[in-house]
Amino acid sequence: MTDNWTETDIPDQSGRVAVVTGANTGLGFETARMLAEHGATVVLAVRNVEKGRKAAAQMAGDVSVQALDLTSLDSIRSAAADLRDAHSRIDLLINNAGVMYTPRQTTADGFELQFGTNHLGHFALTGLLLDRLLPVPGSRVVTVSSAGHRIRAAIHFDDLQWERSYSRIGAYGQAKLANLMFTYELQRRLASHGSTIAVAAHPGVSNTELMRNVPAGLRLPVSWVAPLLTQQPEMGALPTLRAATDPDVVGGQYYGPGGRGEIRGYPKLVESSADSHDEAAQRRLWAVSEELTGVTFALDRRSDRATR
């Protein structure tokens, strides 16, 4: 694979349709911008449509805006219906949007906000759009995780919504771990359904609006250290873009910055935590996610049938 992979390595995306969640700012904006500049038809799937339109106006190419609030299953279903009506095919679904370190809040459906937005919202959206991806040769679902999937991270099946006690760092770790487990389980289920693949990426430490919810006690130290450690969103978006467009990518891979500690640098293939590869936990999370969202995927997993 190419070292020092950059925007110039993105292949021609003409004829491809890409849906990018959270694309009005930060990593999502840069991801969408670069895809559009390389010829893709890009949909900015965003909660604030006005901000989405302002973002689209800054991009060259075929860019449209779709209302999508990942904190509401009703909004997700409505957005998926709109996207299905507008597009007979989707080549790239990039599950980028997310919230980080928020005080305890719940979604419209009663889910803890970080788990509900980062994982359950994207799980539901993917399931509702999957039949637009499956017939498309080389289509991909790219889900953005985080190095935070290693920090105080576990899937708390006995308290997924953090109703007993709440840790904003622990809840973020759970959500980002769930992103990876979803990717790996989805890839196994896709394996016998053509060439659609599931891939994950993480941006390292990027200077984006996600940092606004850093706990108060950490804000001053973070403000001092951030300029030394973080990278700009256009660099932070490169692992996602590589996962989405590099022809050498295979399903189930994970991309992140290649520098020390995966904090910054050019994108490369990286490893996720041992917990993220727990297949029993992946299957359990999948089943719980289907139950909570009411969204089921039209995919059989042969190993599931074999173990029942």
pLDDT tens track for 229-258: 678 999 999 999 999 999 999 999 999 999
In the chain, where the domains are located: 12-293
Distances, alpha carbon 57 to alpha carbons 25, 36, 74, 85, 156, in Å: 13, 12, 28, 23, 42
Of 3-7, 36-40, 132-136, 239-243, least confident by mean pLDDT is: 3-7
Of 82-96, 179-193, 210-224, least confident by mean pLDDT is: 210-224
Judged against a pLDDT cut of 90, whether residue 54 lies above it is answered with yes
pLDDT tens track for 283-307: 999 999 999 999 999 786 543 333 3
Rounded CA separation 180/280 (Å): 14
Rounded CA separation 201/279 (Å): 19
Judged against a pLDDT cut of 70, whether residue 216 lies above it is answered with no
172: annotated active-site residue: yes
Q: What is the 3-state secondary structure (H, E, C) of 209-226?
A: HHHHHCCHHHHHHHHHHH
Average pLDDT over every residue of 160-165: 97
Q: Considering the candidates 101, 172, 184, 254, report the single residue annotated as catalytic.
A: 172
Cβ atoms 155, 174 nearer than 8 A: yes
pLDDT-derived band at 308 (thresholds 50, 70, 90) equals very low
Of 38-47, 89-98, 224-233, least confident by mean pLDDT is: 224-233
Query: For residue 147, how many other CB atoms are within 10 A of its CB?
Result: 20
**DSSP reduced 3-state for 154:** coil
What is the model's pLDDT at position 305?
35
pLDDT-derived band at 260 (thresholds 50, 70, 90) equals confident
- Tell me which CATH code domain 12-293 carries: 3.40.50.720
DSSP state of 12: P
Cβ atoms 233, 208 nearer than 8 A: yes
